[in-house]
Structure 1
């Protein structure tokens, strides 16, 4: 059979000689994809042959993936399969129901969205879950202090190829999402993670203009493509901060973005999370005492105890790292490969490694003192853990702060 025709049916694609050709040669694979005649044939290539996975890394957007995503005979569900191949975002949504509803309502209304709240509440995971529900694909971009408007909308970059300096226009993360939405013929999501790491008023100037005037050109590519904020592009941002800090944000962002707080997990959901993680990551720990410790620690940090008030908002997702650490590192007196001899030592080192540094990262001087008292109470109440390592770290931070205060005086 001669394969000179420009279209291919599922029957053609299953023929051995052609299949050997497109499974071994990426350029042929891309050409074959562009010649697929209908969705049945495309579904065969994507779901059974997995032609994109054979030639390109899961997250790499190469010629074959582009050919599939730009195809007129490829359905949106198949495009999402290809664009999210290798994406391990969990399907189960853990954030509270009211948060899910508020976020979905904002997206339905066409508003860009900011998910904010304390660390460890699953904002980034939830952002990716929303993206997968909304569009055929998404990009995830983490802000840095060096970001400018160029990283959002685009700008001019020097090109030193060939020993000579030339200049080219480079897309920003939002303008790139616009181009992908147009080229792929579907809704596309751009996630901007941890936006408070950058100067928001500095990086979002042109984006504010685009939101207010969606038909106004905000960037033009070297090829002459005009970038406007396409209605098929959804913007989701995340930020770690408290309510007080959110209220101090520039009105420019709070007027243009829907602000949804991710926090206030119900007690039963937190209990379920801890129990699930213990069963999955630390099945050899048979005692229920560690779970009681984690619940108490989280409750006292966020809501206070009989002996002290709340210290700071702190999300439950941090404890997954602690539980994985324990499961991987306990020896419990046996002949295993664990680093620590028992659960008590492993929990104390896990607190010092994962929880205490994250708490101290944003703690004020009074909060550091509260943390010391907090760990002393926990250590006295729970024999299942030796929390002295975490306590020592907090005390070291307090000493440093006191020395700084003495130097200033």
Structure 2
């Protein structure tokens, strides 16, 4: 779940629980002591949400719901809990029932917006939020959520208006403050973004995303130390959040702390071994550190998890060539060629890898068949022809003797060697 979804889910659950007199919900992740005595029905719902156990909250609610199923507020709370535990179809049935009898019920409309968001129906979500604002133009839930939608759509002026309108009504609105700060980040107004996240930290000192986002703003101001301090705090507050370790690992790489960066990428993998992103960074870092077997293992994992992530084709192909695994290197260069057919260096490296793997005939045939696609006045053409036609290397080296551009000359010699 992304951070805007977390914010909005917490927001709508908090509002609905408060309707029943429950205590303010603390940020998920805080340790909550199990009560020794059974709690009254609605208090127990709040307790289990506070403890990070929405399934038990739903079970407690269903007990209370069976005794008083007809109240609109009861049904709204029920549908919100169903959404939280992923029972989307059941939640939709309850939401539609409320709206059929009361089309202007803003709580039900907000739950409908959340439902459409879960279903990926952005237009349906936007319509529900706009309908709320037609009824109550100061509904901060709808304003901040609409701001998030506009931010996603890069409609920055509309997003700014929605966030500011929400903050005018409620300066403590976490979603609006966070969204406005991220809007300023996208506009590269880093000083202003830091100020917004400062306010968010002051308002919600235990909210990890405030520190993570402020670190990005500080990075934009070249305050690497300040950014690192904020990421350290974000990790402290939420030690199981995958992206905190990715962000801190990248920053540590920038600061030259390669071992610490490697540790962070490994921690991210420990948290979610089924997601490919951390493997990419760890593979590149392992390669740079000379850990070629570990790098190969990580690149293979990326190919297993997301084989169409084409950005790794080139570095993985280079690694395999360096390791002497020329056959695998040729396969990867072929993938790179298919993704970027206009890049002549991939053709050259694929052919060279084929020849190095012992498939000389196949490599030379590749150069013969593809040579005509290269500009005749380029060194790429000369190199392909050198591999395709024995003896052409004499012409190429004579041409290189007259070349005054040293980097270009060195690059051609690399391929020729």
TM score, norm. by length of structure 1: 0.29
Q: Which has the higher contact order (CA 8 A, sep 6+)?
A: 1
Report which of the two has the higher share of helix: 2
Larger radius of gyration: 2
Report which of the two has the higher share of strand: 1
TM score, norm. by length of structure 2: 0.28
